Structure 1
Amino acid sequence: MLWFLIIGVIAGWLAGNLTEGRGFGLIGDLVIGVVGSFIGGFLFSLLGLSAYGTIGEIITATIGAIVLLWIMGLVR
């Protein structure tokens, strides 16, 4: 569980820096990263892709978080 949260914070921070140019704070990065990991896992499974290991988990979660931020930007 703790590892999942750490991956979420890293992914949320990376996505925030790649899209907005800054992070969203610890809680914001955590929420963006955890939700992004679910979205990334779903998208990867739709495409028939899989990522293994810690780096793969971070990449999957970051891609999902970027998609989440893109959708949030469309809604705004």
Structure 2
Amino acid sequence: MEVDGIISAILVGIVIGVLGRLVVPGRQRIGILLTILVGIVAALIGTAIAAAMNVADTGGIDWIELVIQVIVAAIGVALLSFLKRRA
């Protein structure tokens, strides 16, 4: 993977992670680094799900893929916040 790919993955992870945090109600007790990691993983998983549903490559902005990624990020943020609260 090239430097451009790593930087774009981090930027997409930040955006998807923050959007996922905004979807989850209440206060999340996870840090920004975990939010970015959740966002990166959610972006990868969301892209795989969108590709499996044949909605990953559409003309213009892939809104369905973005929504799937944000939903996966919200689930990840909620799960990590719940696990951190229990610990």
Aligned to 2:33, the other structure's residue is in SS state helix
Q: Which sections of structure 2, spanning at least 5 residues, go unmatched?
A: 1-5
Q: Which residue of 2 aligns with 1:62?
A: 70
Deviates more, 1:19-28 or 1:29-38: 19-28
C-alpha RMSD of the superposition: 3.1
Q: Which residue of 1 aligns with 2:21?
A: 16
Alignment partner, residue 11 of structure 2: 6
Q: CA deviation at 1:8?
A: 0.2
- Distance apart, 1:20 and its partner CA: 3.4
Q: Which structure's CA Rg is the greater one?
A: 2
For structure 1, list consecutive stretches of 5 or more residues without a partner in the other structure.
none
Aligned twin of 1:25: 31
Higher helix share: 1
Report the TM-score when normalising by structure 2.
0.60
In 1, the alpha carbon distance for the partners of 2:31 and 2:38 equals 10
The aligned length equals 73
Q: 1:46 to 1:67 in 2, by over 3 A?
A: farther
Q: Provide the identity percentage.
A: 18
